[in-house]
Amino acid sequence: MTRAAVLAGVGSYLPPRRVTNDDLAAAMDTSDSWIRTRTGIRQRFFASEGMATSDLAVEAGAQALKSAGETTADAVVVATMTPDRPCPGTAPTVATRLGLGGAMAFDINAVCTGFVYGLATAQGLITAGTAERVLLIGAETHSSVLNPDDRSTSVIFGDGAGGVLLRAGEADELGALGPTVLGSDGEGADLITVRAGGSRQRLSGSPPGPADHYFAMQGRAVFWHAVTRMAESCRAVLERAGRRLDEVDRLVSHQANLRIINHLADELGVPRDRALVNIDRVGNTGAASIPIALAEADAEGVLRAGEHVLLTAFGGGLTWGSTVLTWPGLQRT
Ligand code: UT7
């Protein structure tokens, strides 16, 4: 019997402030038609005044625990590029607020690939015997770093959180995580950034450039990197898992742009209707995007027990990664 990390629960949370494309068009030089045709996004949700990433993460984490029928976890991992504060990590706060104080707790920053990196980390903790149950949450409050003067990023990103509870189990169980393929390319570090606030460009001393504490992305340059890297890692992980592309029932990719999701499906030869899409309703929620899509699809009965699911993400760093699992039958919460 081979010890494995088994997905046992999912949850998600979207903050209350719904922002439509028309709302954005009232504040900046853009239009509903540009945003819909270039990205597929119709609306997104932003945190209310005073709401931080941990507030979103706690809600999603509580749902994931409930869906797994668990009240405890030995580890809480939060994947985020928008932590409550640069120091300390957000995960210890989330753990304590969920009644899991004392559990190991740390953050992962692999930007939009953070959730997939987190799955590999959780899998490692479980298979090594370091943890029996890991609560992994992807959570972002992008609205805290969006530049109101940059229409190319402000219209894409949304806030939200999604989480999964992984427990120790057997490799042949439904829900067991398969192999994971991860990668990075620091040559592309400047393509997706928040320049100031770290040790390279400090907030203390000389003031940063006027927009350097905001998120910035060279979207056009990133677009084809995203399609190519996700396609390569999908092929690599399927090969490692001994599965074929025509066996993929559901392609769950990071929700970066509907055109990227469609290009990826076409590139892989996976019918587009097998790709989960919720970017129209939530925008690009970074590290939260895959678990939000999983939680919504599970709640809607779109994901069914026994389906072969391929997860893939791409993000700043540059980073990318993919993994596979067979969807388990989860309790509805
Ligand atoms: O999640 C992490 C990974 N991120 C991604 O994978 C994102 C990848 N990139 C993208 O999704 C797309 O590149 C964007 C959605 C960011 C941009 O779409 P695009 O089709 O690549 O547009 P573009 O940047 O090439 O801009 C086309 C035109 C430009 O005008 P000109 O120079 O052709 O006159 C932009 O100024 O669209 C203009 N534009 C806008 N117009 C109206 C850019 N943003 C907007 C806007 N509203 N919000």
How does pLDDT run across 265-276, given as a tens digit for each residue?
999 999 999 999
Across all residues in the chain, what is the average pLDDT? 96
CA dihedral 267, 269, 270, 276 (to 10 degrees): 20
159 and 181 housed in the same domain: no
Q: Which residues line ligand 1 (CB under 6 A)?
A: 30, 34, 38-39, 112, 151-152, 155-156, 219-220, 222-223, 226, 256-257, 260, 284, 314-315
71 and 208 housed in the same domain: no
Residue 331 lies in a domain: no
Which CATH number does the domain housing residue 318 bear? 3.40.47.10
Question: If we measure between CA atoms, which residue out of 116, 163, 177 comes closest to residue 298?
Answer: 163
Longest CA pairwise span in the chain (Å): 59
215 and 165 housed in the same domain: no
The reported pLDDT for the residue numbered 150 is: 96
Residue 70 lies in a domain: yes
For range 68-82, the mean pLDDT: 97
The answer to whether residue 66 scores a pLDDT higher than 70 is yes
* pLDDT tens digits, one per residue of 186-216: 999 999 999 989 888 888 777 677 788 899 9
Residue 290 lies in a domain: yes
Which tokens is 234 given? 């999908």
CA of 202 to the centre of ligand 1 (A): 29
Which tokens is 123 given? 């899998």
62 and 117 housed in the same domain: yes
146 and 249 housed in the same domain: no
Residue 209 lies in a domain: yes
Which tokens is 57 given? 């993460």
41 and 99 housed in the same domain: yes
CA of 61 to the centre of ligand 1 (A): 33
Which tokens is 215 given? 């998120």
153 and 196 housed in the same domain: no
Strand (E) or helix (H) holding 12: strand 3-13
Residue 269 lies in a domain: yes
24 and 145 housed in the same domain: yes
247 and 134 housed in the same domain: no
141 and 211 housed in the same domain: no
Residue 333 lies in a domain: no
Confidence bin at 299 (pLDDT 50/70/90): very high
Residue 237 lies in a domain: yes
Going by the DSSP 8-state scheme, the letter that residue 209 receives in this structure is: P
CA distance 58 to 227: 32
The answer to whether residue 296 scores a pLDDT higher than 90 is yes
* pLDDT tens digits, one per residue of 156-197: 999 999 999 999 999 999 999 999 999 999 999 999 999 989
The answer to whether residue 333 scores a pLDDT higher than 90 is no
Residues spanned by the domain of 296 = 177-326
Instruction: Among 114, 142, 170, give the residue marking a domain's end.
Output: 170
**Nearest residue (CA) to ligand 1, atom 20:** 38
The reported pLDDT for the residue numbered 332 is: 61
Residue 332 lies in a domain: no
143 and 46 housed in the same domain: yes
190 and 235 housed in the same domain: yes
The reported pLDDT for the residue numbered 85 is: 96
CA distance 111 to 319: 8
- 42, with CB counted inside 10 A (0-12, 13-18, 19+), is middle
Q: Which residues pair with 135 in a beta bridge?
A: 76, 165
Instruction: Among 170, 193, 217, give the residue marking a domain's end.
Output: 170
Instruction: Among 147, 170, 193, give the residue marking a domain's end.
Output: 170
CA of 219 to the centre of ligand 1 (A): 6
What is the total count of domains within the chain? 2
Q: What separation in angstroms does the CA of 35 have from each of 21, 71, 249, 283, 331?
A: 7, 41, 29, 10, 36
Place of tokens 């805290």: 144
b/e sequence 122-136, b meaning 16+ C-beta within 10 Å: bbebbbeeebebbbb
* Among 32, 38, 190, residue to substitute to test ligand 1 (most atoms within 8 Å of Cβ): 38
Residues labelled catalytic: 112, 254, 284
